[in-house]
Structure formats: structure tokens, C-alpha cells
């Protein structure tokens, strides 16, 4: 088969194609560079193994590694899944938690400092804090400062008490951010993302999302109701539609915010589930309730018209009989 037009492979086109390909010297230079990088990587790995060998010999005096080969064998045989973090003495842990508790009770505006301190301990020092479900409903935060000063409180009770203080602080920050709503959109999203992540550090994901979802549900319901009630005069179908139309820009912004906040915090399926339940389901529910109310009012109004019409008809028939 012959190639035609611009795709014909004559000698001039073939020369142009060959001129683009690297020459022998260029190929040798590329191979030489690759070889040099491989040698550097090998040297780096060898040095890492020697450093590891030295540290293992220093820590594990009962097992001396003679060479880097022994080091590789030791790594291969080591069961890292059986390793456990070294426990902290019970008394020291109680003292640490009591100090945090005391700061939260006696000093004002220490919550943010303590949160950053705990996060640094976890990320930089490898300290693991329990993230168990709370013992009380997430919404009950009114009595968080009424803490019993009991020296017999165990570690779990102390940690739960510290978490409650920090949770109240973070929830209040989220709510105040929604109420003021004066910050730039990007700044507001970053602020809320930080609060959500700090809550996830303290409590399980399901518990945090439930609380945040309740907060957003309330905001959506209030927004929709206010948009409809803001219409002057008697509420009818046209005014309801106009009210919901006016709420669309704000709802779109809220959905974008939460998608941004949750996308970097939880998995995509959970994010979509949250958006669906918090916004779409709530909007559907609010519209359904209002339309049912409108239909009920319309039904009553129609019934009144029928009653009035019947009365007028009877009165008219009575007048006719009297004349006759």
C-alpha cells in the first residue's frame, strides 16, 4: 500500500525524521548519567543500612549484626506488627491530664494552645490519643464546666473531660463563624476545615459528622423558611417558588464550602452522602412540608367557597319561592 499526500515517506522526510533522533554520543551520555544515578542510589542505600546496623547493635546488645547483609536479613525476619509503643506510667499520665484539665478550668482562652500541643504530640512524637465515642450525647455541652474534682478519676474520665472542653470550644467556633459570616469565602472554608479536623482528632468520624450535619441542617431549614417568610403578604405558590429561587445562591455556596471542607477530610462516598442528607434531603423535606400546608390551606379555602356558594344558592331559591 502506498502512502499519499503529506504522509508519503520519501527520502527527504526520512532524513528529517532521522535528524531528530539523538546521536550515538548523546545516547552514551544519557546512559552514563543513568549509571551515575544508580551508583549514587546504591551508595545511599548502603549507607542507610550501615546506619541502621549501627543503631540496632547499639540498642539490641543481645543481637550483633556483622554486616549489611545481616541487617537485611534482620529486617526481613523482624515482625513489626508485634511491636507496640512503650506505655506511659499511669501516674505520669494522670498528672499530665490533670494539668490539661486544670488549665481548661482555671485559665481562659487556653483551648487553642492545648489543641495545637496535643496535635504536635501526636504528629511529631507519635503519641496516640484514644478517639473513642463520647459517653454523653454530642449535643449536650451546657454543663461541661461543672467538673468533679475527684482524685480517683481514672485516665479515661480525665481524657473524656478534656475532650469535652475542647469540643465545646470547637463547636462554638464553628457556630460563631456561621453567625458572623463576614470572612472571605476561602478563609472561612480553611477555618472550618481546621475545626473539623481537630474534632476528628478528638472523636470518631461518625460522631463529628453527625454533629456537623445537625448544625448544617438547621442552617438550611432556617434559610429556606426565612426566604419564604420574607415574601410580603399572603403566602401562595408563586411566592413560595420565588422564595426558594432567592435561596439558591446561598445554598450553592454552602454546598461548595462543605464539599471543599470534607473532600480533604473524609472519603468521597461519605462526602457525597453528607451532602445528599444535609442539603438535598432537607430541601425536599422543607418543600414537601410547605406544599402540604399550601394544599391544606387551598383545600380549606375551596371548601369555604363551596359553603358560601351553597348558602347563596339556597338564599336565592328561597327568594324565588317567596316571589312565586
Q: What angle do CA 310, 313, 315 make, to 5 degrees?
A: 110
Confidence (pLDDT) at 139: 43
* Coil, helix or strand at residue 301: helix
Half-sphere exposure of residue 117, counting CA atoms within 13 Å on the CB side? 11
Count, in order, helices (H) and strands (E) of the chain: 11, 0
Higher local confidence (pLDDT), 21 or 72? 72
- Residue 32 has what pLDDT? 85
Burial of 71 (0-12, 13-18, 19+ CB in 10 A): buried
> What pLDDT digit, counting tens, does each position of 46-102 carry?
888 888 778 777 776 666 777 878 777 777 776 554 445 556 677 788 888 888 888
pTM for this prediction: 0.60
State the Cα–Cα distance between residues 86 and 298, nearest whole angstrom.
71
Select from 229, 230, 242, 250 the least CA-distant residue to 293.
229
Q: What is the Cα Rg of the chain in Å?
A: 36
Amino acid at each position: 500500500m502506498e502512502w499519499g499526500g503529506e504522509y508519503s515517506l520519501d527520502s527527504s522526510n526520512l532524513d528529517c525524521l532521522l535528524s531528530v533522533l539523538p546521536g550515538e554520543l548523546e545516547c552514551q551520555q544519557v546512559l552514563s548519567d543513568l549509571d551515575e544515578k544508580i551508583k549514587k542510589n546504591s551508595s545511599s542505600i548502603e549507607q542507610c543500612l550501615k546506619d541502621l546496623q549501627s543503631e540496632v547493635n547499639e540498642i539490641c546488645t543481645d543481637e550483633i549484626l556483622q554486616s549489611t547483609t545481616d541487617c537485611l536479613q534482620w529486617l526481613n525476619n523482624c515482625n513489626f506488627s508485634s511491636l507496640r509503643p512503650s506505655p506511659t506510667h499511669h501516674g505520669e499520665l494522670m498528672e499530665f491530664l490533670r494539668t490539661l484539665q486544670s488549665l481548661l478550668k482555671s485559665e481562659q482562652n487556653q483551648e487553642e494552645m492545648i489543641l495545637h500541643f496535643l496535635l504536635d504530640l501526636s504528629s511529631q512524637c507519635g503519641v496516640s490519643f484514644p478517639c473513642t465515642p463520647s459517653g454523653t450525647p454530642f449535643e449536650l455541652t451546657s454543663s461541661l464546666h461543672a467538673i468533679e474534682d475527684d482524685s480517683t478519676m481514672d485516665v479515661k474520665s480525665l481524657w473524656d473531660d478534656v475532650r469535652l472542653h475542647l469540643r465545646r470550644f470547637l463547636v462554638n467556633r464553628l457556630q460563631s463563624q456561621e453567625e458572623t459570616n463576614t470572612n472571605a469565602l476561602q478563609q472561612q472554608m480553611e477555618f472550618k476545615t481546621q475545626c473539623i479536623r481537630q474534632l476528628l482528632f478528638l472523636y470518631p468520624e461518625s460522631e463529628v459528622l453527625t454533629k456537623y450535619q445537625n448544625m448544617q441542617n438547621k442552617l438550611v431549614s432556617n434559610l429556606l423558611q426565612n426566604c419564604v417568610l420574607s415574601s410580603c403578604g399572603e403566602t401562595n405558590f408563586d411566592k413560595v417558588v420565588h422564595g426558594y429561587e432567592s435561596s439558591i445562591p446561598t445554598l450553592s455556596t454552602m454546598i461548595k464550602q462543605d464539599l471543599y471542607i470534607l473532600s480533604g477530610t473524609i472519603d468521597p462516598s461519605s462526602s457525597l452522602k453528607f451532602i445528599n442528607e444535609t442539603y438535598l434531603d432537607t430541601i425536599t423535606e422543607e418543600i414537601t412540608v410547605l406544599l402540604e400546608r399550601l394544599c391544606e390551606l387551598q383545600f380549606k379555602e375551596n371548601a369555604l367557597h363551596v359553603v358560601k356558594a351553597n348558602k347563596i344558592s339556597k338564599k336565592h331559591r328561597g327568594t324565588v319561592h317567596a316571589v312565586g
